[in-house]
Structure 1
C-alpha cells in the first residue's frame, strides 16, 4: 500500500542563530541563574534554539492532524477501555468518557506513542506506521536535544554532578516517556459557560518535565505564586516546558510541579479545534522517588516528600500506575460552581492518605 503524502503544516521559520547559550563558555551557569526562579516559584518556562527544526515539528502536527481526521471507528481500534482504567495510557483515548455537566462530556482526544525503548511494542494506525521512523527520530530528539540538557541544568542548580539525573532518564531503558497528539474540540459559548469555561481544570503532570510545542490557539494558563491564573502566550520558535510531580518528589519540593489548566480559547479563537504536540519525560521505571542528596536541599532542610511522609517509597513505575489509574477512573459528574470543579473524594484518591488536587 503506497505511503500517504502529507500536506505541509505551516508555522513560523526556525531560528537562524548558530550557537545556543547552553554551548557557550559559562552558558550553562547563566541558564541556571535564569532557571532558578522559574522552577522554584512557577514551574513554567520557554526553551528556544533547541536543535529541532520547525519543519520537523510541523511534520508531527501534520501527523496528528491526519490521525484525528480518521473516522472514529478506525481510531477506536487503538482504544481499550479496560486497559485505560487499569492505568495503561498508551494508544487512543476518545472524547466523551467523562460527564462534566448535564448533557456535556469532555471534549479531549488523546493519542499517546510510547518511547522506542523496546518495551512498548504496539500496533499503530497506517497513517502513523508509514512514518514511524520520523516519529522515533523526533521522540529521540526531544530527549537528547531538550530533556538531557534540562536535566544537566537541574543538577547544576542543585549543586550535584551534572550527569546525576541523566543516568535515571536513559532513553533506551524501560520507562514511560511518550509523545502525544492531543485534540480539543471547540464548544459552543453556551456549553463553555456550563463547564466553567474550561477544557481541563487545574492540575499537575506526573513525570519530570513536559514539552509543549508551540501552537497558536491560546488556551493554556498557569497558576502563579500569587494564586492568579495567567495566559501562557505561544512564542515563536519555542517549546513551553513545565516541571512535574516526579521531579518535585526527587527534590523534596524544591522544584515546583507547575499547576496549569486548559481554558476555552478567547472569543476570536473559540470556534477553532486545538491540536497539540507534547512530549512527556519521566524517570526510568526502576527509579525510587525518594528525595536525593544535594547540598542545596541540605541547606534548606528539605528531606521528605508527599510519598515518604506516608512511609511510601514508590518507584516511578508504581507512581505512574497509581496516578494513571486514578486519572482514568470513572467519576461522578463534578459539581461546578463559579468555574470551580468539585469531585467526590473517592474519585481523587491515589492511595490511602494521598489524593489528587483539582486546583481551582
Structure 2
C-alpha cells in the first residue's frame, strides 16, 4: 500500500535578531572522493574537533526534499493526540536506559518546579535487533525512514569516521567504520524532537534555557538545518555562541564515546538549547537528528594503535582512570538511565546556575554527569 501523501514541510523564517554567532568551519564532502580530498578535509577538521567539537558539512548526497520529508513526518507525528502518542511510551524503558519510542514533555523537572518542554520520538536503526511497533503515520513510510537512516550513516557518518581515522593515524582508515557497522547491533537512532514555546515567565525561571549545557554520549550527532535559533555552543574561550542555521548543511557535533576512544583528543562538544530570540519566541521548534554510536560490543578504551595518541601519551580516559572498561552498550545504558532519571529538587539561580540533588548526576561510582551553566 502506498503511504499517505504528506503535505510539504515549510520552515519558518530565520530570526532577524543580531545574535553572537559562532564561527564554525564547513566541510565540503564533495571533496571526499577527489585526489587528496580526504587529507584536505582532515586538515580543516583538526582544529574544530580538538577545540570546540562542532562543524558543518555540505554536499552530503541527501537531497533537501528527503530532509523535508523527515520534518514532515515529525510534524505529522507530533500533531497526533497525546493519548495516541503515549501508546509508544514506556517509562520503565527509560529507567533501564532504553530510549527508543516516545518520551512526552514534562518527564523531568528542568528546574524551579518547571518541567521540560521537549517531546522526543526515537527510531532505532534498522539493524534487525530493534523491532518496534510504529504509529501508522510512521509505519506507512517506514521504507523511506529506513532509507534516510541508512543514508545518514553511509553518506555522512562513515565518511567522517574515515577522516577521524586519518587524523588519528590509524593503520586502516576503515577501522572506525568497522566499529560502527549499521547492520551490527548498536544504539544509533533517528530522532524527531519537538520543543514547545514557553511563556517569558517560565523561561526566566529556568535561566532562559530549554536544555542546560551538556555533551552527547555517542560518536557524532547530526542536526539537520532548521531555522529556529536556539542551539548554543561553549567555545574554547568559555563563551556561549549561537549556532547559525546554514542552508544546505548538517550541523555535526562530536560526542563522549569518540572522546573516550581518543583519550580526550577529540572534544565532546558542550552545547545547550536556549529560548529562541524575541521574533521566534512564540514558535515551536522541530528538529530532525541522527545519533551515531559505536557498535554495542566495542570497548570504549583509548585506541592503542593510533600513532598520534601514542606520541601524545593519550592512553587513559575517564573510564579507564576508574578501572572501568565499558562497552558501548554498558555506557549507553548507564548514561541514558541517568539522563532520564526523574529529578525533584533542581534549583536555578537568577544567573542561570543549575544545582542538582545529590544523586541526580551520578552515572557510575566515581563519575558524574557535568552540567555546564
Same fold (TM over 0.5): yes
Structure 2: tracts of 5 or more residues without a match:
13-27
Deviations along 1:76-121, one digit per CA (max 9) or x if unpaired, are 0000111112111000000011223455211000000000000000
Instruction: Quote the Cα distance in structure 2 between the aligned partners of 1:301 and 1:234.
Output: 38
The aligned residue for residue 30 of structure 1 is 40
**8 Å CA contact 1:11, 1:54 repeated in 2:** no
The answer to whether 1:358 aligns with 2:371 is: yes
**8 Å CA contact 1:220, 1:260 repeated in 2:** yes
The answer to whether 1:6 aligns with 2:16 is: no
Deviates more, 1:241-250 or 1:290-299: 290-299
The answer to whether 1:128 aligns with 2:135 is: no
Structure 1: tracts of 5 or more residues without a match:
13-17
Instruction: Quote the Cα distance in structure 1 between the aligned partners of 2:91 and 2:116.
Output: 16
Deviations along 1:32-57, one digit per CA (max 9) or x if unpaired, are 00000000000000000000000000
| Residues 197 and 314 (structure 1), Cα distance of their counterparts in 2 relative to 1, 3 Å cut | same
The aligned residue for residue 15 of structure 1 is none
Count of aligned pairs between the two proteins:
355
Instruction: Quote the Cα distance in structure 2 between the aligned partners of 1:157 and 1:227.
Output: 25
The aligned residue for residue 189 of structure 1 is 200
**Structure-to-structure mapping, 1:29-108, within 5 angstroms:** 29-102=39-112, 104-108=114-118
2:320 to 293, 308, 316: 308
Instruction: Quote the Cα distance in structure 2 between the aligned partners of 1:279 and 1:99.
Output: 25
**Structure-to-structure mapping, 1:153-302, within 5 angstroms:** 153-160=163-170, 161-293=172-304, 294-302=306-314
TM-score, normalization by structure 2: 0.93
Deviations along 1:318-354, one digit per CA (max 9) or x if unpaired, are 0001101111111123110111211123110001000
Partner SS, residue 190 of structure 2: strand
Instruction: Quote the Cα distance in structure 1 between the aligned partners of 2:182 and 2:58.
Output: 22
Deviations along 1:137-176, one digit per CA (max 9) or x if unpaired, are 0000000000000000000001112111001000000000
CA RMSD in angstroms, aligned pairs only = 1.4
**8 Å CA contact 1:155, 1:162 repeated in 2:** yes
Deviates more, 1:307-316 or 1:1-10: 1-10
Instruction: Quote the Cα distance in structure 2 between the aligned partners of 1:74 and 1:19.
Output: 40
| Residues 252 and 102 (structure 1), Cα distance of their counterparts in 2 relative to 1, 3 Å cut | closer
Partner SS, residue 151 of structure 2: helix
Instruction: Quote the Cα distance in structure 1 between the aligned partners of 2:113 and 2:314.
Output: 47
**8 Å CA contact 2:180, 2:295 repeated in 1:** yes
Instruction: Quote the Cα distance in structure 2 between the aligned partners of 1:21 and 1:59.
Output: 27
Instruction: Quote the Cα distance in structure 1 between the aligned partners of 2:149 and 2:110.
Output: 33
| Residues 75 and 236 (structure 1), Cα distance of their counterparts in 2 relative to 1, 3 Å cut | same
Instruction: Quote the Cα distance in structure 2 between the aligned partners of 1:10 and 1:203.
Output: 30
The answer to whether 1:349 aligns with 2:362 is: yes
Deviates more, 1:37-46 or 1:20-29: 20-29
Instruction: Quote the Cα distance in structure 1 between the aligned partners of 2:74 and 2:353.
Output: 31
Deviations along 1:169-194, one digit per CA (max 9) or x if unpaired, are 00000000000000000011111111
1:20 to 3, 11, 30: 30
**8 Å CA contact 2:55, 2:251 repeated in 1:** yes
